[in-house]
Amino acid sequence: MTLKQGIKPEDLYELKSVADPQVSPDGTEVVYVQTHIDEKKKDYVSNLFYINLDDKKTQQWTFGEDKTHSPVWSPDGSKIAFVSSRNGKPQIFVLSKTGGEAKQVTNCKNGATSPTWSPCGEKIAFSVQLGKDENIDDKVENNQKEDKELKPLVIDKMKHKSDGAGFMDMEQFSQIAIVHLASGELELLTEGKHNLQLGTWSPDGKYLSYIADLTEDLDFSFICDIYLLDLETKHGRKLTDGSGVFYQTSWSPNSRFIAYVGNEREFENATQPKLWIYDLDNDNQICVTSEFDAPVGDFAIGDFLQGVVPPRLQWLEDNKSFYFQLTDHGNTSIYFGNLSGELYPAIHDDQYVYGFSLDAKNDRAVVAISTTTNPGDLFYVNLNTGEKEQLTTVNEEFLQTRALSVPEAIEFEGADGWKVNGWMMKPIGYEEGEKYPLILEIHGGPHAMYANSYFNEFQILAAKGFAVLYTNPRGSHGYGQKFVDAVRGDYGGNDYNDLMAAVDYALEQYDFIDQKRLGVTGGSYGGFMTNWIVGQTNRFKAAVTQRSISNWISFYGVSDIGYYFNDWQIQAGLDDIEKLWQHSPLKYVDNVETPLLILHGEKDYRCPIEQAEQLFIALKHRKKETKFVRFPEANHELSRSGKPTLRINRLEYIRDWFVDYL
C-alpha cells in the first residue's frame, strides 16, 4: 500500500477558494465567488458560481481569466451586479439571471467598486476615486499610453502611504456615485477632500449610509463615523459621535434601525469591537454586546483563502432579530440576537465561519466554513436546528490524494497562571516511538487569532516530518478584553513567557518531540517575536523571521503606521528612546546563536524591509549564521495574497531551512 504524501508548496495551484456567498431575495438561490490560481498566468482567477438551493446543482456564471467579485442580487432577484477587472480597471457589470452577456454599466477612469442596489432596482450606488480636476464622466481611454515621465512626489501629510496601496495620491479621494441603469447616466452624490466609504441603501430608499473621518488634520485622527446621506437633499447626517471607529452598516427591513460594528478605542487598536444599533425613530443608539466579552467580527488569521468578505449583521423579517459573526476561543461563530437583549450562538462548532448569507424568510443561511482539514466550502444551514448540508466540495477530490495532519487542541498555563489555548500537529507518517523536531509558529497582529481552520504552511511542515505547535498567547483576540490588551507595553514580556510555556507544555505532554531539535517562525508581530526569542534563549536550533520588526526606533518613522502604533503598542514615542530600544530585538543581537533565515517583501510598507536589513547586517557583522531573502514587488500580505510564485518560493524557503537545520 502506497502512503499518501502530505501537502507541498506547489499544491497551491491545485487548491480552490470559495467565498462571499449571496443568497437571493427569495431564499432559493445563491451566488458565490470561486478563486483558483492559473498555473500558466501565475495569477489568481476568480469567477461567479451559482447554486439552486432546491436541486443543489452548481453552475459557473462567469468565465473570465481575471478577478470577478462583489456579487449582489437586485431586489427582485432577476439580476446580479458584480465587479470585474476584465477590461483593466475594476468596473461594475450587471448579469441577467436568465443568461446572456454581462453588461458593463460603469467605465470610470479610476475604476468603480462596492455596488449597492437601490430598493427599486433601477439604480446602483458605487464608490469611485476622483483626482484633482477629474469628473465622474471621465472614461477609461482605450490604448492609453502610460506617462513614463518621472515626477517628484510632494508629501505634506504623515499618512501618505499604505501597505498594499503604496504612496497615496494626495489629490485623489473616494466619493459616492449612482448609475441610472435605464439611461446609463452617472450621478456624483458627494465631493470634497475626504474619503467616503459607501455602506448600504436603506430599504425605504431615502438614505445611503457611508463611513468617513471628516477631521481636518487626519494625521492625528483615528476615528470612523457613520453618516446617512439624504438622497433628496444630498446632505449628510452624522450618527456616531466621533469617539471611535464604526463600520459595517446594516438596515432593518422597515428602515427604522441601523446596525453597525465598532468601538470607542478605550484600548486603542486592542479594543474589542462591539455591536451597536441606532433607532432612527427615537434618535438614540444602544450597544447590544456591552456585557459580552468577545469581539464582534472575524479576527482569525490564515494563509490560504482568497476573496473573503466580512459578513454584515443580517436582519430577520420581524425587524427586531438578527444574526452576526463573532470571534471566540479559536472559532468564529454566528450568533443570534434581538432588540430585547437576547444573545446566543446559532452556529458554534470548532470551525472558522468566514462568511454567511441569510434566507430571512426561513431562518436558513448559506455559510462558508473552514475546518482544520477542509480549506473551505459552502454549507446550507438550518439556523434553528443546526442541521447542515454541504453545497460545495471544491477541494475534496484533490485532498483525497493527500494526507493531512489533524491538529489537537491544547490548553496550558501561561504567565501569571493565565490559561492559554493552542494546537499540536503530529508529522505526517508519525510512528510511535520515533522522535520528531518541533516548530513553534507565532501569529501576527498581535491582535489576531489562530483558529480551528486550515493552515497551508502548517500542513506543508507536517508533511516534511515536523510536529507543529501554534498558540494564541496574550494579545490574541477571542479570549476577552483583558487578555487582548495585556500585551500592550509588554512586548517581549509575558507574551514571550506564554510562548515558552507552550513549548514546555509540549515537551512534557508529547514524548515524540526531540527537545534538541526545536524551530520557531512567525510573521509581522510573529516575526518580531521570533527575533526576540532568538535574542533571549538558545533553546531553538533554527528560526525563520518573516516581515518582521527589529528596531522600534526606526519603525516609528518608516512604517505606514509606525508613529502611532509605537505609542499604542510599545507605549513609547521618540521622547522615550530608551523604552523603544529596550523592546527592540536588535538590542540583543549579540546573544543570537540560532541560525536565522530572514524573509521580507521589497514593498512591505507595514514593516518596511529596512527592519530586515538592519537585522541582517548586525548579524553578519558579528559572524552569526544567517541568510536574507528579498521578495520583489511583495508587500506585507505576501504569505496570504502575494504573487503565487513568490508564495510558493516563501514556503519552500521556510521548509528547506528547517529541513537543513533540524
Angle among Cα 71, 75, 76 to the nearest 5 degrees reads 110
Neighbours of 640 (CB within 10 A): 16
* φ, ψ dihedrals at 503, nearest 5°: -65, -45
Neighbours of 339 (CB within 10 A): 16
| Ordered DSSP codes for 253-303 | TTSSEEEEEEE--TTGGGPPPEEEEEETTTTEEEETTTT--S-BS--B--S
Q: Alpha-carbon distance 263 to 267, whole Å?
A: 9
Helices 644-661 and 456-463: crossing angle, nearest 10°?
Answer: 40
The residue whose grid cell reads 446566543 is 344
Neighbours of 57 (CB within 10 A): 9
Q: Annotate 128-137 with b (16+ C-beta within 10 A) or e (fewer).
A: bbbeeeeebe
* φ, ψ dihedrals at 102, nearest 5°: -70, 140
Q: Alpha-carbon distance 582 to 318, whole Å?
A: 56
Residues 6+ apart with CB under 8 A from 145: none
Indicate the residue type of 81: A
| Residue ranges of E strands in 296-407 | 314-315, 321-328, 331-338, 343-347, 352-359, 364-371, 374-382, 388-390
For residue 473, whether the previous peptide bond is cis, meaning omega lies within 30 degrees of 0, is no
Indicate the residue type of 145: K
Show the cell assigned to 37. 490560481
Q: Alpha-carbon distance 164 to 154, whole Å?
A: 20
Q: Alpha-carbon distance 547 to 628, whole Å?
A: 11
Q: Which H helix or E strand runs over 47?
A: strand 43-52
Q: Sheet of 173-180: strands edge to edge?
A: 112-117, 123-130, 173-180, 186-188
Q: Catalytic residue numbers?
A: 524, 636
Show the cell assigned to 353. 465561519
Q: Alpha-carbon distance 113 to 128, whole Å?
A: 7
Q: What does DSSP assign to residue 567?
A: I
Burial class (CB in 10 A: 0-12, 13-18, 19+), 206: middle
The residue whose grid cell reads 432577476 is 78
Interstrand relation of 161-162 and 166-167 (parallel, antiparallel or unpaired): antiparallel
Show the cell assigned to 314. 443580517
Q: Alpha-carbon distance 328 to 476, whole Å?
A: 11
Question: Taking Cα atoms as reference points, which of 66, 70, 91, 56 lies closest to residue 19?
Answer: 70
Q: What does DSSP assign to residue 12?
A: G
Helix (H, G, I), strand (E, B) or coil at 10: helix
In angstroms, how far is the first alpha carbon of the chain from the final one?
29
Q: What does DSSP assign to residue 570?
A: I
Show the cell assigned to 453. 481552520
